[in-house]
Structure formats: structure tokens, C-alpha cells
Amino acid sequence: MEAESIDRRVLSHGIFHENRIERVAISLKVAGGEVVGLGRAGRYGSKFPVGEVTCLNEHDLPLLHLALESSSPVLERAGLFPTYDLLLMYSCLHPTLGFHPILERFLKNAKLSPTYFIGNCEAILTVAAVIDELPLGLHEKYLFCISPVDMEDGILAQGLTQFATNYANKGLVRLRQIFTPGTLKVPKTQGALKSLESIHKVLDLYIWLSFRMGDAFPDQELASSQKTICNMCQVYMYRELQPSVQIGCYSGTIPA
């Protein structure tokens, strides 16, 4: 019998994350899509019909099991996000404004029915404030603002700023301008691991941009290969630091 094709991966370090104030449990409600999203992540359009989600640490598994076995509550409201077409039409009413003030005004003045709400756009506003002075078109600014970037990550924020600046000045962004291939090493400390994770995000950002502005970001293959090396370095360190950890997996599957 042919084995079922199942994609297995660990997509989160833990059930908890640290913010500036306290230790907070990551939301795992199936209705919110978090667990389902973990099982689906990276499988869209792939050969894997189902996926499995697990935790890096075995002691996190009971909470994961509880979330997956819980019934989904009825969603009463849905979040919306301003599309590029809407912002383009709105910008025609304010031709002298930059992208950041246009987005601010749009979010302030948008009227929705009670069953909808505007999603949190703070991260996008932060990016808009950084790149708004660059000589970019509205569409390019929109793409950079919705890209997968956390501006609180210094290395990632620097990568985005450099990508946007190079694109604005030259129309071409080579990966080697901010990253030297062959320099990745297995981290020896938690600080080095954090930096490596940030570099991984920069490479992921480059790949994301290459799918949307391919002519300007031509080094997708190089970025992908370096991202794979990043993954290998991280896995090696996890095994070195936690040789006794047994990674368990939820026996159920999550469909695509």
C-alpha cells in the first residue's frame, strides 16, 4: 500500500511568547485559524493533501491537543484589510499626500457594517512611515508595507529598508548587496540563534518580494538555498542544546 503523503514540520518554538510586559500564551483556537494555519503553512498548492502540527517541546503538547479537540465557536464578525485598489481610489482624492497619511485617513474614515471591522494595521503604518519618503509608486509602497516584516526586529527592519532603498534608487536589488553567501554558521549561543533567525526572515522577505517584483529581485534561487542552510544550522543547534527533548506529534491531521 502506498504511504499517505503527509507534510510534517515544527512551525513554532513554543506555546508561549514573551512580550515587553508578560509571558503570554499563543492563541491556539481552531476557529481563529491559528492551529489550522500551522498545519497548512507552506502546503498551499503543494503535493501534500494533509499536514500535521506539533511542538518543539513535549510539555507543550497537551495544550495543543486541547485546542485541536475543541469545537469551533461561531464567528460573529470578520476583519477586513484595505486593498490596493481601494487605497488607489482614495489617493485620487488626496493627490498631494504620501502613502502613510493616505492610509491613516482611510483607516480613520472607513465605515463598515457591524459584522465587519478593520484589521490591525499598526505594523503596516510603521513600515509606511519608514519608506514614505522614498521615490516609489503607490503600488510599490503598498507591497513593501504588506510584506512579512516585523519592524521590532532590528536586522529584519534594516533588511527591508535596504531593499526598499535599493529598489527606489536602482530598480534592482541583488541579495549580495546586504548578505554575503557562505558566511552562515551554526550558532553557539541564544543570541547568535536569534540573529540567525532574523537573517532567515530577511531571506524569506527577499523571496516574498521576488514573487511580486521578480525583475527587481532576481536572486530568488540564491535566497532559497541560503534559507535552507539557515534551517539546517538552526536544527543542528536545537539538537545540540536539547539532545534529550522528544518531539511528539498530534496524531490527527489537518486537511489543506
Task: Write out the chain's pLDDT in tens, 256 residues.
Answer: 344 555 555 555 555 544 444 444 444 443 334 444 454 555 556 666 666 777 767 787 888 788 778 787 888 999 999 999 999 999 999 999 999 999 999 999 999 999 999 999 999 999 999 999 999 999 999 999 999 999 999 999 999 999 999 999 999 999 988 877 777 888 778 788 888 889 999 999 999 999 999 899 999 999 999 888 888 887 777 666 655 444 444 444 444 4
Alpha helices in the chain (DSSP H): 34-40, 61-69, 84-91, 99-109, 122-131, 138-146, 154-170, 190-212, 220-241
Contact call for residues 54 and 41 (beta carbons, < 8 A): no
Contact call for residues 155 and 144 (beta carbons, < 8 A): no
Instruction: Please give the Cα distance from 205 to 198 (Å, whole number).
Output: 10
For residue 249, the 8-state DSSP code is B
Residue 16: what are its φ and ψ, rounded to 5°?
-110, 150
Residue ranges of domains in the chain, CATH in brackets: 1-73 (no CATH), 76-134 (1.20.272.40), 147-242 (1.20.58.1080)
Residue 86 DSSP SS3: helix
Residue 119 CB partners (closer than 8 Å, separation 6+): 79, 80, 81
Residue 72: what are its φ and ψ, rounded to 5°?
-85, 125
